[in-house]
Chains A and B, each alone.
Chain A
Amino acid sequence: MTDASWAVLGDEAIHERDRVELSLPARPELLFLVRMTAAAVASRADFGYDQIEDLRLAIDELALTICGDEPQAGRLQLLFKWSEDAIEVVGVYEADSGESRPELVLAQPANELSARILDALVDEHGADAVGGCPRAWLRMRRRKGSRA
Chain B
Amino acid sequence: MTTEVNFAVTESEADGTPVLAVQGEVDVSTAPELRERLLALAEAGRTVAVVDLSEVSFVDSTALGVLVSGVKRLRSSGGDLRLVVTQPRISKVFEITGLDDVFRIFASAEEAVQA
Contact = CB atoms under 8 A, between A and B. Distances in A.
Contacts of B61: 61, 64, 110-111, 113-114, 117
Interface residues of A, number: 21
Interface in B5-39: 5-6, 25, 27-29
A120 B28 contact: no
Contacts of A116: 96-98
B42 interface: no
B72 interface: no
Given A53-B89, A113-B97, A116-B98, A60 B65 contact: no
B34 to A, nearest CB: 14
Contact of B93 (A32, A64, A117): A117
A61 B62 CA distance: 9
A61 B60 contact: yes
Q: Which of B3, B28, B68 has the most CB of A within 10 A?
A: B28
Contacts of A64: 28, 60-62
Contacts of B98: 116
A104 interface: no
B28 A117 contact: no
A116 B62 CA distance: 13
Interface of B: 3, 5-6, 25, 27-29, 58, 60-62, 64-65, 68, 89, 93, 96-99
